[in-house]
Structure formats: C-alpha cells, structure tokens
Amino acid sequence: MVEFGSLSQRIERRSEIVSRSKHEALPTHALDLQDPRAAAEWHWRVGLPMATLVSVVFGFGLARVPPRGGRFARMLPAVLVFILYLLLLLLNQNAIARVDCRPCSACGSSTAPFGDRHPGSTAHVAAGEGLMLRIDRYIAKVLLQTILVVLLAFVGLTAIFALVEELRDGAAGYGFAIAAQYVAYTIPRRTYELVPYVVFLGTLVGLGSLASHSELTVLRASGMSVWRLFASAAMPALLVLTLSAALGEWGAPDAEEAGEAVKAHARQASERIKLRGGSWYREGGLFVNVDALDADGSLLGVRQYQLDDEHRLTAVRNARRARAEQDGWMLEDVVESNLADDAVSARRYAERRWRMQASPTLLSTRTLVQPRKLALSELAGQIDYMKREGLDSARHELAFWTKLLQPAATLSLTALALAFILGPLREVSMGSRLAVGVVAGLAFKYLQDLFGPMTMVYDLPAAVAVLLPILACAVGAVVAVRRLG
C-alpha cells in the first residue's frame, strides 16, 4: 500500500487554475519557460508539429519494407506508432506541468512539498516527476494484478465451455484427449479476443479497489486530474495490448491452424483432411478446385479450369497431388486436356509447375481457418487477393478492421471504466462493479456483432462497423469524465 502521507500535494487555488489557463491563450514566444506550466504548454506546441515529421520519417522507412500482407499490413505499425507518440507527448506535458509549490517562509517564493527547493530547479522538477512515477507504478501494479486474475478466470471459463461443446458433439468422432488438445490449441486465440473486455473488467475492479480504500479520493484531492489518472490507467492497458498484438499476429493463428488440423485428422481417421465440396480458388481466368489437404500441407485432388478473355473453357488439368514450393506449386501425375475449336488433345505429365501470384500458403489458410482467426498480415493478403480477383472480401475486411482497431476499443473501454469508478460505482460493492462491467462489455460486443452484418447488407465500409461502437463508447466516456472533472 502507498503511504499517502509521503505523497501529499497541495490543492491548487482558483487563481492558479486561472493562471494556468492563461498559458494556453498566450502566443508561443510569450511563454515564460521558467514557469513549469508554461514550459509544459511550450513542449506540447512544439511536439504536435514534430508528430508530422515523425510520421513522414516513419512512413518513408515503412514504405521501403515490402510486408507480406500488402498495403493493409503497413497501417498497423503506423497507427500504433502515432498513438504511442501522442500518448508519450501527453505524459511528458503532464509530467512537466505537475510541479506543485507553496510559499517559502524564508524568501516568499515557492518551494516544493519535499523541502526548500525553488520552482524550476532541477531538484524540484525531479521530485515532482519521481512522485508521479511512484503513483504510476503503483496504479499499474494494481491494475496488472486484477487484469491477470480476470484474464485467467475468463480464459479458463471459455476453455471449459469449449471443451464441453466439443464433447457434446456426438458426430465428432474423437474422444476427450483430442478435444482437450484442440481446445488447448485455441487458447491463444481466445486470449487475444478476450483482451479488450478483460482489460475493461480488470481496470474496473482495480480502480474500484483503489476507490474502496479512498486512494482515488486522495489522488483527486491532491490535484491529480481525471485525464492524468486515465493516462496512469492506460499504461498497463497498453502493455497488455502490446503482448496481445504479438500473440494475435504470430502465436494464435499458427496454433489455431494446428488445432483445426488435429480435429480434422481425427474426424477423418486419416492424415487427409476432406474439404466439404472442395475448396475453390481463382486467379484471373484460372479456377482451381481442391478435394483435400494432406498433413504436410500438400493439396490432393487438384482440378484446374482455364478460361480465355471471352470466358470460354480452353484447358482442363487434373493432378493427383500438388506440393508447395517457394514460388508456387508442383503438380504431380497431371493429365492436361486442351480444348480447341475442332479438337481436344490430352497429354500426361509426371510433374508440371503451377506458378501463382499469391503465396503457396494461401490455399491452406483459406481451407482451414476462419477470417477472424487469421493473423492481420494474412487477412491483408487475403483481402488483396480477393479484390484483385473480384471476389467478395466483406467478411475478411470486417475481421481486419476489428483486429486493427482493437487498441482503440480497449482504450475507450478503459476510459469508460474510469468514468464508472469516479461516478456511480465509487461506493458500491465489488459484485455490483463486476455485474455492471459484464453488462457493459456484453453491450459493447453486441453492438459490434450488430453493425458487422449491417455493413454487408447495406454495402458500407467495414471500418464504419468497427468504429461506431468504439466511438459510442469513447464519446460516452468523455462526456462522463468531463462532467466529473
């Protein structure tokens, strides 16, 4: 527990608040950099134009790197870097401005509550920064602990429900061991999907614990603004988001594909995964149908239909097997029939190369894993391929934007949790906070599930469906926080 006696700060007088607002109205050249609040305002004004320069420099570097996911994959690091830069800029402004002084009995000037140190001195600023760092670390420790507990509880519950659902399927054709193995493979993906709601509930419980012990009251009474408190609560959320993004991009998709393969192999009692009705792939005038997927990723029962520019069938190829190579596929035991106006010729090949524009893993990815379970880069590749071939990519775009805007959704839910704790949920029990948190989280999820199909029906951009619930949550949180502040 923090000893709040050592963290005491003086509450600002009305005259000081008015003085602080005057700094925002002054031109940049008139700001007195000896005044901490004026210096904070100067740093903010200089930092905003620098954000443009940082974005340009980062954009040039990112443009030179050819990501495997296409142009959409470049957006994720760009958005994350820009958000991180603005957050650091805001934290820097607050750190500089949080220098609370009181009149010095010796000279009549201002000194800090840590001793006779004059404003603007190195020791004074260092003491203020050290105080805020201690508060930030304490809040982060409490929130990370509650987020971890909520995460373990929710992941455990969803895993148990998933295991029961797998065993309930009488036609599954596999026992408890295979079901448990499949559910274990899906845990990384479930963890990634639960992160926004887990962070929301964990923040709600953690801040509620601080409010129950009057610690938030002390922080607010000492002059800590609501938005500064939000910045402290957002730091552990950003840490969890960073780990979650890494898990969702590299760990969860591979584990999900392995789990689907395990289940499919068990259902077929063989090493071949039979695809319902086959899987279709199109590239220009070439249409490909695949019967099954082997355990090593090879395609079984490949049929290719080649059409000309007038959509007339010109060639048909049947291959027993196709194995993946670096630049395409190698068809084995191929029978090729070429259709002319007056004749049909057939030839047999032991091997024949099939070059394709997309990566060789595209077919296996499409056949096994649903769009929402793919990595962001894989979704971007799928979207590029489907748009290039004139296919409907609405489901993939919806999954792409849901993953891309997950940080914004999490931060908006964090702000909503803070508004709840500082407002109607300050004095209620922990059970009431959990109940409200679960209801609010479900409402947010149902909004996302509602707007998703609407974009497909009314042909709206997928980004709109994902942004609307986030904006609704963010606007509600901002309005509530402004009323509290």
Do 256 and 297 fall into the same domain? no
Burial of 34 per CB tally in 10 Å (0-12, 13-18, 19+): exposed
Answer whether residue 110 shows pLDDT above 70: no
Average pLDDT for 41-69 = 59
Answer whether residue 200 shows pLDDT above 90: yes
CB atoms near residue 110 (< 10 Å): 16
Please check whether residue 267 is in contact with residue 174, taking contact to mean a CB–CB distance below 8 angstroms: yes
pTM given for the model = 0.64
Domain contains 193: yes
DSSP assigned state of 74: G
Encoded tokens for 365: 């990815």
**Better-scored residue on pLDDT, 284 or 158:** 158
Give the integer Cα–Cα distance in Å for 332 and 322: 6
Q: Coil, helix or strand for 168?
A: helix
Give the integer Cα–Cα distance in Å for 192 and 241: 9
Answer whether residue 189 shows pLDDT above 80: yes
For residue 338, the cross-strand partners are: 315, 345
Answer whether residue 374 shows pLDDT above 80: yes
pLDDT bin (cut points 50, 70, 90) of residue 72 is: very low
**Better-scored residue on pLDDT, 218 or 43:** 218
**Better-scored residue on pLDDT, 337 or 263:** 337
Residue 410 to residues 92, 112, 144: CA-CA distances in angstroms? 22, 37, 14
Domain contains 273: no
Do 94 and 233 fall into the same domain? yes
Specify the pLDDT at position 363: 62
Specify the pLDDT at position 102: 42
Specify the pLDDT at position 7: 52
Specify the pLDDT at position 284: 79
**Better-scored residue on pLDDT, 410 or 212:** 410
For residue 348, the cross-strand partners are: 335
Give, in degrees to the nearest 5, the angle at Cα 381 between 400 and 390. 95
Give the integer Cα–Cα distance in Å for 121 and 112: 10
Amino acid at 445: K
pLDDT bin (cut points 50, 70, 90) of residue 118 is: very low
Instruction: Report residue 169: phi and psi, to 5°.
Output: -70, 105
Specify the pLDDT at position 333: 92
Average pLDDT for 166-180 = 73
Look at phi and psi of residue 275 and say left if phi exceeds 0, alpha if psi is from -120 to 50, else beta.
beta
Please check whether residue 302 is in contact with residue 351, taking contact to mean a CB–CB distance below 8 angstroms: no
How high does pLDDT run on average in the chain? 75
Answer whether residue 326 shows pLDDT above 70: yes
Return the closest-CA partner of residue 218 out of 2, 412, 434, 390: 2
Encoded tokens for 88: 């650091």
Instruction: Report residue 307: phi and psi, to 5°.
Output: -115, 145
Return the closest-CA partner of residue 203 out of 248, 246, 241: 241
**Better-scored residue on pLDDT, 2 or 96:** 96
Question: Angle of helix 376-388 relative to helix 394-404, nearest 10 degrees?
Answer: 150
* Residue 294, domain extent: 285-356
Give kind and range of the element (H or E) at residue 188: helix 176-212
Average pLDDT for 268-279 = 55
Do 173 and 319 fall into the same domain? no
pLDDT in tens, 459-474: 778 888 888 899 989 8
Tokens 């009549």 -> residue? 108
Domain contains 388: no
Domain contains 380: no
Burial of 138 per CB tally in 10 Å (0-12, 13-18, 19+): middle
DSSP assigned state of 29: G
Do 147 and 177 fall into the same domain? yes
Domain contains 376: no
Domain contains 24: yes
Q: Coil, helix or strand for 435?
A: helix
**Better-scored residue on pLDDT, 456 or 365:** 456
Answer whether residue 45 shows pLDDT above 80: no
pLDDT in tens, 376-388: 888 888 888 788 7
Do 306 and 421 fall into the same domain? no
Give, in degrees to the nearest 5, the angle at Cα 455 between 450 and 460. 145
Do 251 and 293 fall into the same domain? no
Do 110 and 235 fall into the same domain? yes
Highest mean pLDDT among 73-87, 102-116, 142-156: 142-156
Look at residues 356, 381, 415 and tell me which one is the last residue of a structural domain. Answer: 356
> How many structural domains does the chain have?
2
Domain contains 5: no
Give the integer Cα–Cα distance in Å for 343 and 337: 10
Do 163 and 306 fall into the same domain? no
Highest mean pLDDT among 110-114, 152-156, 280-284: 152-156
Look at residues 306, 339, 356 and tell me which one is the last residue of a structural domain. Answer: 356
Please check whether residue 96 is in contact with residue 44, taking contact to mean a CB–CB distance below 8 angstroms: no
Do 187 and 87 fall into the same domain? yes
The radius of gyration of the chain from alpha carbons, rounded to an integer in Å, stands at 29
Answer whether residue 74 shows pLDDT above 60: no
Do 455 and 321 fall into the same domain? no
Do 168 and 105 fall into the same domain? yes
Encoded tokens for 484: 């509290």
Give the integer Cα–Cα distance in Å for 464 and 470: 10
pLDDT bin (cut points 50, 70, 90) of residue 121 is: very low
DSSP assigned state of 108: S
Specify the pLDDT at position 435: 81
Specify the pLDDT at position 481: 78
Encoded tokens for 129: 């920064």
Domain contains 8: no
CB atoms near residue 410 (< 10 Å): 24
**Better-scored residue on pLDDT, 124 or 253:** 253
**Better-scored residue on pLDDT, 418 or 369:** 418
pLDDT bin (cut points 50, 70, 90) of residue 116 is: very low
Average pLDDT for 202-226 = 86
Do 337 and 417 fall into the same domain? no
Please check whether residue 198 is in contact with residue 154, taking contact to mean a CB–CB distance below 8 angstroms: yes
